[in-house]
Amino acid sequence: VSESTVPLVVAIDGPAGSGKSTVARLVAERVGLPHLDTGAMYRSAALACLRRGVDPADSSASVELIRALTITVDGAMVTLDGEDVSTAIRTPDVDVAVGPVASNPEVRAELVAQQRRWAAERGGAVMEGRDIASVVFPDAPVKVYLTASEEERARRRSEQLGGEIGSVAAEIARRDHVDSTRAADPLRVADGSIVLDTTGLSIDDVVTRIAAMVDGARSRAQATAASVRTADDASPAADWPGSTAPRLTGVDLVGSGVVGRSLYRALWVVAQAANRGWFRARYHHSDRIPKTGGFLLAPVHRSNADFLLVGNVTRRRMRYVGKETIWNVKWFVPIANALGGIKVDRGTADRASMKRCLEVLEAGEPLVLFPEGTRKSGPIVEEIFEGAVYMAVKAGVPIVPVGIGGSGDAMPHGAKLPKRIPIDVVIGHPMTIAAGEKSSSRRAQRELSVRVREEIQRCFDEATRLSDARRRGEA
Ligand code: C5P
């Protein structure tokens, strides 16, 4: 299957005011795909019913009318039988009439068929609506469900279209209700859709995030075309090239002695008590951690508690890469050293610490490195440190992405003591460079780093969802 015959569809669904239209338009521009607002088609159909006096509840009459219409959508320009209706479809009358029209299964079947043709003819598209990921293109490689709090959505709508916020909120709530309770293809989060709550996120954040998913989908499509391994068919640990690497002798690894090992074990147990007792931490998919051989653990980093939390993903002893400032804390230096911590000087292209990391990985030992560089905040996984990918590839070991949900709220920047918030840790698929690719290829490494970032984000989203659900359960 060549890439050009598989339409790259970016499906964006969500309720009114979730920011779909703005986001879909900008994503389309950024990734170079055409954009289709399917809501405009349902609106045009409703407008036609209003004008011809056809009762939308009269199913056969409205289907007949709609089959005879020619609706075109080109960016913001919408025509109905050749007439520009771009503004006429955005009136309150149409807002009210569109629900019943869109609830008619035959109308939907007709418009869905048109939407599929539209995207297929163009080899892909960014499509926004209510049922794109669930019905129109369930196999779309990128599926996003955008949402935002009710207040936020009402605020956006009233800024965009005017109107007093209370009545806008009521209208949105009414339309949400109609759209999500109708029998035919109701608004819902489709299987496999990534839920993006945009409350408090900037438009640019959201667009960047979806554009990164499109990048990932494109590299996956290329990878599939070259029939190479992706994260999804990750093999058990024993298959990974690094896992059978003999323990190198003669390499002097700090903290390998009895003192270092005992201290690690002792701290591991203390960490476990804290993680269990205080955070009630749950670890999901721990079986994905390779049982032997080196690997690079790549967790998201939102809190100082993360060091403690990731320590318990496995009983295997892992070494940590830490920023140099940790070594400024005098009392901690002997501990960090005994633990075999690797100091990285972020200001420079620190060759010495890269070399240490490689030694550890090549010796078949696991290494923890937070690839975002420093502690970040917010729900978006930022650009990751490509040196991490380079090292893992060079050592021939997999990268294991990790998402930690709840730690940012439990112990935000500046907090001295952690709050008692349930934490979920989700371990992702071990990832490695595509088979058949030269490990020295810059392109292949770049591609892996895009996929790793995506997988960390996926794990982070899932972990956050799990932790939030437990918190709500408690509230
Ligand atoms: O997206 P917009 O708010 O303009 O959509 C108007 C209406 O069209 C929605 O409230 C919904 O009833 C309907 N619609 C739909 N399926 C889609 C897109 C829109 O039912 N894919």
The residue whose CA is least distant from atom 20 of ligand 1 is: 102
Q: Which of 475, 422, 456, 459 lies closest to 309, judged by CA? A: 422
Kindly provide the residue ranges of all beta strands, DSSP E only, lying in 277-420, ordered along the sequence: 282-284, 296-299, 319-323, 342-344, 367-368, 399-405
Chain Cα centroid distance, residue 437: 26
Check pocket membership of 130 for ligand 1, CB cut-off 6 A.
yes
Q: Kindly report the number of other CB atoms within 10 A of residue 149's CB atom.
A: 12
Check pocket membership of 42 for ligand 1, CB cut-off 6 A.
yes
Which CA distances in Å does 106 have to 101, 110, 117? 10, 6, 17
Cα of 475 vs centre of ligand 1, distance in Å, is 34
- 8 Å CB contact between 364 and 247: yes
List per-block mean pLDDT (blocks of 10 residues) for the chain, which spans 475 residues.
62 92 95 96 97 90 92 93 96 92 92 93 94 94 92 87 86 88 88 88 90 84 51 30 32 64 89 94 92 93 92 92 83 80 69 85 90 86 86 92 95 86 94 79 87 93 94 84
Chain Cα centroid distance, residue 351: 32
The pLDDT value recorded for residue 156 is 86
Query: What is the Cα–Cα distance from 240 to 397, expressed in whole angstroms?
Result: 7
The pLDDT value recorded for residue 348 is 52
Q: Which of 75, 98, 71, 65 lies closest to 85, judged by CA? A: 71
Q: DSSP assignment of 312-327, as one string?
A: TT-SS--EEEEEGGGG
Check pocket membership of 15 for ligand 1, CB cut-off 6 A.
no
The pLDDT value recorded for residue 239 is 29
DSSP symbol at 431: B
Cα of 117 vs centre of ligand 1, distance in Å, is 19
The pLDDT value recorded for residue 16 is 87
Cα of 31 vs centre of ligand 1, distance in Å, is 24
Check pocket membership of 289 for ligand 1, CB cut-off 6 A.
no
Question: Which ligand 1 atom is the nearest neighbour of the CA of 21?
Answer: 1
The pLDDT value recorded for residue 223 is 63
Tokens of 146: 């955008």
Report helix, strand or coil for 278.
coil
The pLDDT value recorded for residue 339 is 77
Check pocket membership of 320 for ligand 1, CB cut-off 6 A.
no
Check pocket membership of 98 for ligand 1, CB cut-off 6 A.
yes
